[in-house]
Amino acid sequence: MSRKRVISFIDGFNLYHAIDGLNNPSFKWLDLRKLTQEFIHPEREELAHVLYFSTIASHRNQAAQIRQRTYLRALELRGVKIILGQFKQKDRECSKCFARYTGFEEKETDVNIALTLMDLAYQDAYDRAILVTNDSDQVPTIRKVLERFPCKSVTILIPPFTRECNELIRTASAKAKITTMHLQKCQLSEVVSDASGQVVVKRPKEYANTYPIPIISKIS
């Protein structure tokens, strides 16, 4: 019997902000292919693709942008497909002093995830989707995928130390949670290269593994 095909759909900033809250920058140098493999059953499943949805934070300082682009390149060398949205300026107003200022809002990522999740279901590209997010905006898409394709399943993989979104959990086929143990175990190498060894990406010094794992009380 052939193994079932699994594709992971990763909401990049949703995962990033959860990891950022752990105050351990080394966790950001995360091997998403290896992380996904922690949640599949190799005897009866195979990992077909890892899709990473994010946006270049062009409004941040140059050093931060370089770190982000370095990480994206490392992921590509590990066979992760990058799907980018964009940040757009948005006028905002302080609720206390009513001062107006310009903020930035990530656009397209939620839509890109939803469209790709549905499109690949119609292409019969996967049997099980692993969706890394805690964003309830994906509930209608999950519901529609399971309605149209009852033989497929969607597992919600919850970012570390975030409160579970009950609506997501109720809609999905199953749930799992990323822990600090997963983050520690699934680190990229200090140097990531392609098969030929000619293309090389080095881990940014800010992500060096010099930080102890924080002790954080679990959030249910």
User: Around Cβ 193, how many Cβ atoms within 10 Å?
Assistant: 14
For residue 213, being part of any structural domain is answered with no
Domain range for 70: 4-207
Question: Residue 105, SS3?
Answer: strand
d(CA 154, CA 139): 11
pLDDT at 209: 74
Asked whether 112 and 85 are in contact (CB, 8 A), the reply is yes
- What total of structural domains would you count in the chain? 1
∠ at Cα 32 (37, 25), nearest 5°?
Answer: 130
pLDDT digits (tens, 9 = 90+) for 19-75: 999 999 999 999 999 999 999 999 999 999 999 999 887 666 788 889 999 999 999
Q: What are the tens digits of pLDDT across the range 102-140? A: 544 666 889 999 999 999 999 999 999 999 999 999 999
pTM: 0.85
Q: Is residue 212 part of a domain?
A: no
Phi, psi of 216 (to 5 degrees): -130, 135
The CATH number given to whatever domain includes residue 197 is 3.40.50.1010
85 — pLDDT class (breaks 50, 70, 90):
confident
Residue 148: Cβ within 10 Å count: 11
Instruction: For residues 100 and 106, give the distance between their C-alpha atoms in angstroms, rounded to a whole number.
Output: 19
Helix (H) or strand (E) holding 32: helix 32-37
Instruction: Note whether 10 and 168 are within 8 A (CB).
Output: no
